[in-house]
Chain A
Amino acid sequence: MSEQVCFEDVAIGDVLPTLEVVVDETQMFLFSAATYNAHRIHYDKDWARDKEGYDNVLVQGPLQAALLARAVTDWVGASGRLVTFSVQNRATALPGETLLFGGTVTAVRGQGDGTGLVDLEIAGRRGETVLMPGTAIVSLPARAVIGAGA
């Protein structure tokens, strides 16, 4: 297990580890099943092409969001917490494409209660194309708090 990140360790401009994912149709099927989503655009190629004008079925927007949240919650660790998560669906993604999920620290403020809040600018991307821009606020523990228990 990786070491818990604490808010004192974090500075504006720090970059989160990037999560790289190639979504395939099996993952899309499982995600639609897990979210009870029968929208044809995620499994019916003829519908996606002929009725909606896309090149292929589309990766679910909520799956992109979930992958982006995963990049954030992986980084904050078990003693950190996702407080606010905001994203916009800007562009579609297709199965087989390499997607990147990550973020950058934009603000850090200690709360005086053994935690600090960290603002992040986050994004799901395909190469240079931003598919899903957003922001998040996470809570991280203070080093003193973690030092006692971990």
Chain B
Amino acid sequence: MTELSLIPDEVAARVGTEAARATGEVNRRDWQRWAVAVGDENPLWFDAEHARAHGYDDVICPPLYLQYAVLGVTPMSALRADGSSGAASGNLQFPDAPKRMAGGESTTFHLPAYHRDELTMVRVIDSIVEKHGRSGRFVLVTWRTTYTNQRDELVAEATTSMIARP
């Protein structure tokens, strides 16, 4: 192989380090807007009586919404040319592999999250490797993420990956 790596040295050096940390408030209206956009009208997300009848204190946040509760604000001038924001992933730059696609996610949910819970996300870069697939070379980045609430209880933990192609 004489090809140069798609992974810049300064990016490779960040494996094992914290890529991002964010805190946000879980908000019922926001998760309900998300749920409606998914067409997911599960009464556990919408109907407090129903949720209480099934052992919860109140309506609960849909598990897959947790990752959005901690999103901060990105100035438009800080968006990449493709409009995406690297804020939640530590702004890893791959100049030779600019086309980005979500890879996969694996999340374990430990506790429900409620309206006005304060969630803290900590995301660490687990690995950055170059691979060769059917459609050519790509970079696979994997993060490990924890979500804890205001009582330092582990709400969820996730492994997430992203693919960047030339």
Contacts and interface: CB of A to CB of B under 8 A. Distances in A.
Interface of A: 21, 27, 30-31, 33-41, 44, 47, 51-52, 61-63, 65-67, 69-70, 73-74, 78-79, 81-89, 134
A63 B37 CA distance: 9
Interface stretch (B2-10, B98-106, B113-121, B123-131): B98-106
Q: List 9 A-B pairs, minimum CB-CB distance, nearest first.
A: A86-B106, A88-B104, A30-B37, A34-B34, A40-B83, A78-B54, A61-B102, A38-B83, A31-B37
* B33, B38, B53, B55: most-surrounded residue (chain A CB, <10 A): B38
B104 A67 contact: no
Contact of A85 (B44, B82, B107): B107
Nearest to A27: B37
A142 B62 CA distance: 23
Chain B binding surface SS class: mixed
Contact of A39 (B30, B68, B83, B104): B83
Contact of A65 (B34, B51, B105): B105
Contacts of A36: 68, 71, 74, 85
A147 to B, nearest CB: 15
B20 to A, nearest CB: 15
A110 to B, nearest CB: 19
Chain B residues touching A, range: 35 or more
Contacts of B37: 27, 30-31, 33-34, 63
B104 A89 contact: yes
A39 B162 CA distance: 14
Given A39-B83, A69-B63, A84-B108, A34 B39 contact: no
B50 A78 contact: yes
B39 A87 contact: no
